[in-house]
Amino acid sequence: MQQKKKRWRNSVRKVLSCAIAVITFVALLSVHVHVPSFDVTRFPHNKLPMQHEFSYQRLSGERSWIQEFAPPHFSKAPVTASKLDGANWNWTLDKLWRPPPNRDYVRCVAPTSLYTSPPESRGYLLVHTNGGLNQMRAGICDMVAVARIINATLVIPELDKRSLWKDSSKFSDVFDEDHFINSLANDVRIVKKLPKELASAARAVKHFRSWSGVDYYEKEIASMWDEYQVIRAAKSDSRLANNNLPPDIQKLRCRACYQALQFSPQIEAMGKLLVDRMRTYGPYIALHLRYEKDMLAFSGCTHDLSPEEAEELRAIRESIPWWKVKDINPVEQRGKGYCPLTPREVGMFLSALGFTSNTPIYIAAGEIYGGDSHMSDLQSRYPLLMNKEKLSSYEELEPFSKHASQLAAIDYIVSVESDIFIPSYSGNMARAVEGHRRFLGHRKTISPDRKALVRLVNKVDQGTMIEGKKLSDRIIEVHRTRQGSPRKRKGPISGTKGMDRFRSEEAFYVNPLPDCLCQKESAYTNNSNAIV
């Protein structure tokens, strides 16, 4: 009996020993093949961080992701859902940076077969440009076309020195004067100065009618040559219609704006230097952050500002006589989408679109109102915020530093050459850069729907929505068709009349299609006979 019990105990010991051995083996095996799982909800939109972002993160109180990663000899384990999410994220980022389909549009600005050399000049056209850099650029290009229409010799235009910026720059300080003259030699005769014998001659000073067509210039303005040898245009902005002009006049506007009117060699060199330095960080966004004192004062926008700042802006608006609207309701302005986005709103917008925190961003702007106090949120989201001051030395930037138009020209170059251009407000620079990027092949330009964004930001601020997938989906959907794809220039808003009808049209230089861009299959059959 005792011998049977002893035999039974030995059998139990053997079974237990085997069980312990099996358990130990399984435990050891599980340590080596374990691929850690982690809570993907910790990351925006359930997307995994890039490898450099893992670093020494603590996940669920455990050791870091790098420390827990499976050894190399087990790296061919089945692809997990997390890895698939990461692959999808990379695809999404690639799509985010990809330019819109160009649909085979190419530049076609060569003259038609009906175009002739400039006829004999009947007199001289003096031009006083007005506004900031981009307003002056558009005006100069329009005056080239006007000179052609009225058979005038164009005298190199005088830049605005009386505006808010009080810039003393001459034409040759900002633009390549000789290139401008030579490039347009077959279109318009251009001289640097009025001949001395005409310096004291009687001249007509004329405010050309806004958005005028060929008939106005041929009949009303050209008839003035019977009495005057010199006509002075008191203003240059918006003096030529956007639409319904002869094809050769429209093409001439494009040749003037995008080929002849280049910046001075010094500005071009500085702009390209900053582009190269931005490229060292990778593909970059140029953000035209129109959050400067003059813009906020003019528009009456005070959201997120202190009472003292709002009062300062009101006083500036009251002090400038040519700003006609003085009493502005800032809440209504913002609700209608008439205000530039604040730096915080821009940060929320970029995050919702899916741009990662390591995205290089060039701030194309003057001095941001309030400085760091208003930039902190955007800076915390996107540490790689650059501008011309950060990218250059004092010595490099000093020659341009006291000239607003020259600094704006540098920003213009960096913006046109960027991988993505995003304006926080649809002002003159935003429209000019967008049009130039369309002309160069529809480079990606994301135009924020400010009215829609304000509604969504308000919901976040009121606690009825949080930053996350729902907000991201809404913003992405709103901007799906606002990324610079080819389309024809928009005409007037239905129901508008008179000058309001012209004012409601999309400006010529915002979108030079169809006049200066045509699809390849038709490019060789239109009257231009050439693609330039």
Three-class SS of 471-488: HHHHHHHHCCCCCCCCCC
- Separate counts of helices (H) and strands (E) for the chain: 23, 11
Do 129 and 242 lie in one domain? The reply is yes
What pLDDT, on the 0 to 100 scale, is given for residue 163? 74
Alpha carbon dihedral 373, 375, 380, 383, in 10-degree steps, equals: -130
- How would residue 94 be classed by pLDDT, with cut points 50, 70 and 90? confident
Do 244 and 358 lie in one domain? The reply is no
Task: Mark which of 259, 277, 292 sits at the end of a domain.
Answer: 259
Handedness of CA 421, 427, 433, 434 (dihedral sign): positive
Q: Does residue 62 belong to any structural domain of this protein?
A: no
Claim: this prediction has a pTM higher than 0.85: no
* Contacts (Cβ under 8 Å, ≥6 apart) of 297: 313, 314, 316, 317, 320
Q: How far is CA 369 from CA 43, 284, 289, 310, 362, in A?
A: 33, 24, 11, 11, 17
| Pairwise CA distance, residues 489 & 509, whole Å | 10
Task: Mark which of 203, 235, 259 sits at the end of a domain.
Answer: 259
Burial (CB < 10 A; 0-12, 13-18, 19+), residue 371, is exposed
Looking at per-residue pLDDT, the higher value among 497 and 34 belongs to 497
Do 234 and 323 lie in one domain? The reply is no
Handedness of CA 476, 478, 481, 484 (dihedral sign): negative
What pLDDT, on the 0 to 100 scale, is given for residue 93? 79
Phi, psi of 421 (to 5 degrees): -115, 130
Task: Mark which of 244, 259, 274 sits at the end of a domain.
Answer: 259
Q: Does residue 301 belong to any structural domain of this protein?
A: yes
- What pLDDT, in 10s, does the model give residues 483-503? 999 999 999 999 999 899 999
Task: Look up residue 529 and give its two tokens.
Answer: 């006979």
| Pairwise CA distance, residues 449 & 349, whole Å | 10
- How would residue 13 be classed by pLDDT, with cut points 50, 70 and 90? low
Do 269 and 389 lie in one domain? The reply is yes
- Pair type for strands 152-155 and 123-127: parallel
What pLDDT, on the 0 to 100 scale, is given for residue 42? 32
Q: Does residue 355 belong to any structural domain of this protein?
A: yes
| Pairwise CA distance, residues 40 & 349, whole Å | 22
What pLDDT, on the 0 to 100 scale, is given for residue 162? 78
Task: Give me the mean pLDDT over the 74-94 stretch.
Answer: 46
Do 250 and 353 lie in one domain? The reply is no
Q: What are the DSSP E strand ranges found in 333-458? A: 361-363, 385-386, 420-423
What pLDDT, on the 0 to 100 scale, is given for residue 480? 95
| Pairwise CA distance, residues 159 & 163, whole Å | 10
Q: Does residue 170 belong to any structural domain of this protein?
A: yes
| Pairwise CA distance, residues 366 & 383, whole Å | 19
| Pairwise CA distance, residues 126 & 202, whole Å | 13
Candidate from 61-70, 213-222, 394-403 with smallest mean pLDDT: 61-70
Q: Does residue 36 belong to any structural domain of this protein?
A: no
Number of separate domains in the chain: 2
Instruction: For the beta carbon of residue 441, count every other beta carbon within 10 angstroms.
Output: 13
The kind and range of the H/E element at 443 are none
Residue type, 501: R
What pLDDT, on the 0 to 100 scale, is given for residue 362? 98
Q: How far is CA 371 from CA 95, 292, 305, 339, 513, in A?
A: 33, 10, 12, 18, 39
What pLDDT, on the 0 to 100 scale, is given for residue 481? 95
Q: Which of 285, 302, 286, 373 is nearest to 338 (CA)?
A: 302
Do 253 and 279 lie in one domain? The reply is no
* Contacts (Cβ under 8 Å, ≥6 apart) of 241: 211, 212, 213, 502
Task: Give me the mean pLDDT over the 284-309 stretch.
Answer: 95
Do 463 and 320 lie in one domain? The reply is yes
**Percent of the chain scored above 70 by pLDDT?**
80
Do 506 and 398 lie in one domain? The reply is yes
Residue found by looking up tokens 């490099």 in the block: 396
Q: Does residue 524 belong to any structural domain of this protein?
A: no
Do 202 and 290 lie in one domain? The reply is no
Give SS3 for 214: helix
What pLDDT, on the 0 to 100 scale, is given for residue 253? 98
Task: Give me the mean pLDDT over the 468-487 stretch.
Answer: 96
The kind and range of the H/E element at 126 are strand 123-127
Q: Which of 267, 266, 269, 250 is nearest to 258 (CA)?
A: 250
Q: Does residue 52 belong to any structural domain of this protein?
A: no
The residue range of the domain holding 317 is 93-101+265-510
Looking at per-residue pLDDT, the higher value among 88 and 316 belongs to 316
Q: Measured in whole angstroms, how far is the alpha carbon of residue 109 from the centre of its chain?
A: 24
Do 282 and 234 lie in one domain? The reply is no
Do 320 and 453 lie in one domain? The reply is yes
Which strands, in side-by-side order, build the sheet including 123-127?
190-191, 152-155, 123-127, 230-233, 203-206
Residue found by looking up tokens 């005056």 in the block: 143
Q: What is the DSSP string of 479-523?
A: TTT-S----PPP-PPTT--HHHHHHTSPPGGG--TTTSEEEHHHH
The answer to whether residue 71 scores a pLDDT higher than 90 is no
Q: Are the C-beta atoms of 388 and 397 separated by less than 8 Å?
A: yes
Q: Are the C-beta atoms of 340 and 424 separated by less than 8 Å?
A: yes
Do 380 and 488 lie in one domain? The reply is yes
Q: Does residue 34 belong to any structural domain of this protein?
A: no
- What pLDDT, in 10s, does the model give residues 353-392? 999 999 999 999 999 999 999 999 999 999 999 999 999 9
Q: Please tell me the total number of residues recorded for the chain in this structure.
A: 532
Q: Are the C-beta atoms of 140 and 177 separated by less than 8 Å?
A: no
| Pairwise CA distance, residues 488 & 511, whole Å | 7
